[in-house]
Amino acid sequence: SKLGGGNDFQLFSSEMKEEIQRRVQLELGLRRALEREELFLLYQPLLDLDAGRIQGHEALMRWNHPELGIIVPAEFIPIAEETGLIVPIGQWALREACLQNRRWEAEGGQGLGISVNLSARQFQQRGLVEDIRGILEETGIDPGLVTLEITENLAMNKEEYMISRLRALRETGVRMAIDDFGTGYSSLMYLKKFPVQILKIDRSFVSDMLRDEDDAEIVRTIIAMAHQLKLRVTAEGVETEGQLQYLRGLGCDMVQGYYISRPLPAEQCIRLVKQYDE
């Protein structure tokens, strides 16, 4: 190149330096993000295909950083996990999501479900079940409206421990969902032992299923077997009418994705719920 090798190296190392600086900046900032009220939740509707109604919403976290702007969870959740900050942040998210669901209830959104993601570190945290029970009581939400989502890989290691933990969570009255299903190593029959009620098919299969027969086969198999196990199935990442119709034909229970709606600020959710109810 015109710049010569030495400059290329400098360019590379200054990029790395920037990356490290950003990481340090995020880590320091995250420690204060909660008290400074920089975290907020967006809500993405889940459409129940049988009922033709919005079943509820999944809470998705965002961070409004004072200098860097909006940061997505892919960047800050791993930092929150490594530093242990995910525990107070996760408690905040569950409380806030439950409170928001109660606000919607007062605005005519009775019976809506609310789903909240639980990361690996949170799931393994001592006192998790007591914390969740406390938040459910404090917010006065009907626990049957709450779904906690955990990722597949997390669910599949340490089987005995997982089962007892899932059972304890289940005893609080919430429902459990396996997120990103299909990306891990587990067999569907393995799931029979897990006290979960919902499977969420990973977006990667849904986005390719209409042009890739292997992905279509995976989606069909997951839905059919999940139904044999009496589990409900949600398909993530539905972006087109064609994908929605294909999933409907397979008897998929719920769909979520940009085709129905992007994640929305809380104030915009009830309008869409009412639109589907008309």
* Site of interaction with ligand C2E (CB under 6 A): 44, 59-61, 72-74, 77, 90, 93, 117-119, 149, 179-180, 203, 236-239, 256-258, 263
List 63, 149, 155, 247, residue binding Ca ion (CB under 5 A): 149
- Rounded to whole angstroms, the Cα distance separating 13 from 216 reads 43
152 binds, among Ca ion, ligand C2E, none (CB under 5 to 8 A by kind): none
Is there binding between residue 152 and Ca ion (CB under 5 A)?
no
Question: What own/partner pairs with CB < 8 Å and gap ≥ 24 does 259-264 have?
Answer: 260/45, 260/47, 261/44, 261/45, 262/44, 263/42, 263/43, 263/44, 263/58, 263/60, 264/42, 264/43, 264/44, 264/45
Structure tokens at 152: 């597949």
Q: Give min distance, CB of 115 to ligand C2E, in A.
A: 9
54 binds, among ligand C2E, Ca ion, none (CB under 5 to 8 A by kind): none
258 binds, among ligand C2E, Ca ion, none (CB under 5 to 8 A by kind): ligand C2E
74 binds, among ligand C2E, Ca ion, none (CB under 5 to 8 A by kind): ligand C2E
Q: Give min distance, CB of 181 to Ca ion, in A.
A: 8
251 binds, among ligand C2E, Ca ion, none (CB under 5 to 8 A by kind): Ca ion
Summarize as ranges the residues that interact with Ca ion (CB under 5 A). 50, 117, 149, 179-180, 236, 251, 253
